[in-house]
Amino acid sequence: MPIPTVDDLRRYAIARTLFTPTTLPRAIRQLGFVQADPIRAPARAQDLTLRHRVKDYRAGDLEARYTRLAIEEDCLVNYGFLPREHLALMHPREAKRAWDAETQRRAADVLAYVREHGPVHPRQVDAHFAHGRMQNYWGGSSNASTHLLDGLHYRGLLRVLRRDNGTRVYEAVTHLPADESPAGRARRAAALIDLVVRKYAPLPAASLTYLVRLLGYGAPHLSVQTQAALRLAREALASCRIDGTVWYWPADENPASRRHAPDDAIRLLAPFDPVVWDRRRFALLWGWTYKFEAYTPAPKRQFGYYALPMLQDERVLGWANVSARAGSLQPSFGYAGKKPTGAAFRAALDDEMQRMTHFLAGR
């Protein structure tokens, strides 16, 4: 295999994940994991990611079709949607921080209630138990019953059956016993690393290490095994060194292959799209720093509240912030360098805005 160049890696990073649009189940299976985010600007991240990979995808299709697909809402390196079979790699899951005795008692009562009554909305649980409110992760106040349901879901005792107007409806679930032998745990850890590498490759060495650390979210009880599997993965994966950076990718793929050929269409990508998710890789491949600033105070924002990176051919030209008002899109654009000109660029951008309008019609 010839040693790839940065240009090869850039082309490979785009083409291996921006595959020819297919069905929703096949797209999720090929991606392996789709990160979720509740912000709609102009749609949720999972919908913005899938619209480039699913034929005639409309905003909300994932939520509407969720109950008919073999997928689950769960945690991997962050929260999102993944094929159901991947749950066996992480469950039964042990949380890093154990609940105190009182919280355990409340959680057991909630679990017993769900098992007895079937699918439940958080409002139903709160009305029955009146748990009150508590401080959440962000420092604000949230419903204590919702916190308990989330915790039971994380521990694999509940699953998300569906969403009603965006709110999770839970049902009880029992995962099959996992192979907890040393060899079994090692196999699961290796499979998890393979899953994230195949989603986010090519990966700079530091990003590979970071991703394995993030697996402590989806599989905290396998942290020892994932660190051991990482050492083996570095030897088994294909790799090269370019300008002092070591890059890794699956051994059965060739970044220098001529089949990795992008097109001239403009695509506005979600901030968590696999093309741009790894900010370290982004800077190495495109030569500028992109930031997600939804939680940055407005006066300090450089890109805007929910900047969507603008991809054309092999270049990420800049970004767009898009809002939808009165049935029409209100975009604003920024550019990493000189603003592109010419009829071809304007036509490609207009085509993307037309596709975005069609996509949002499903909201």
DSSP element (H, E) containing 7: helix 6-15
Query: Which residue did the predictor score with more confidence, 142 or 279?
Result: 279
Which of 154, 172, 190 is the endpoint of a domain?
172
- What's the confidence (pLDDT) of residue 145? 87
Q: What is the pLDDT of residue 133?
A: 55
The two three-digit tokens of residue 150, written as one number: 């989330």
Decide if 300 is inside a domain: yes
CA max distance for the chain: 67
Q: Average pLDDT for residues 271-294, to the nearest whole number?
A: 97
Q: Is 234 exposed, middle or buried (0-12, 13-18, 19+ CB in 10 A)?
A: middle
Residue predicted with more confidence, 249 or 126: 249
Alpha-carbon gap, residue 15 to 12, rounded angstroms: 5
Q: How confident is the model over 245-255, as pLDDT tens digits?
A: 999 999 999 99
Lowest mean pLDDT among 190-204, 266-280, 323-337: 323-337
In a domain, 184, yes or no: no
Which pLDDT belongs to residue 138?
39
* Spatial CA neighbour of 36 closest among 26, 49, 45, 25: 45
How far apart are the two ends of the chain, measured CA to CA in Å? Answer: 46
**Of 151, 172, 193, at which residue does a domain stop?**
172
pLDDT of residue 144: 85
pLDDT digits (tens, 9 = 90+) for 69-106: 999 999 999 999 999 999 999 999 989 889 999 999 99
pLDDT of 136 over the 80 cut: no
In a domain, 244, yes or no: no
Domain boundaries, position 127: 101-172
Cβ atoms of residues 319 and 282 within 8 Å: no
Q: Per the domain annotation, does 191 fall within a domain?
A: no
> Of 121, 149, 172, which residue constitutes the final position of a domain?
172
Average pLDDT over residues 4-15: 94
Is 353 part of any domain? yes
According to the model, what pLDDT value does residue 137 have? Answer: 46
pLDDT of 356 reads 96
Query: Residue 363's pLDDT is what?
Result: 56
CATH number at 136 reads: 1.10.10
State yes or no: pLDDT of 349 exceeds 50: yes
- How do strand 245-249 and strand 203-204 relate by DSSP bridges? antiparallel
**What tokens appear for 247 in the block?**
């890059």
- 137 in a structural domain: yes
Place 120 in a pLDDT band, splitting at 50, 70 and 90: very high
Q: At what angle do helices 122-129 and 144-154 cross, to 10 degrees?
A: 120
For residue 315, is it within any domain? yes
Domain count within the chain: 2
- Domain membership flag for residue 313: yes
pLDDT value at residue 255:
94
Cβ contacts of 305 within 8 Å, gap of 6 or more: 41, 293, 294, 298, 321
pLDDT over 70 at 134, yes or no: no
Q: Which two tokens stand for residue 76?
A: 């991997």
Angle at 324 between CA 321 and CA 325, to 5 degrees: 130
Q: Rounded to whole angstroms, how far apart are CA atoms 163 and 50?
A: 18
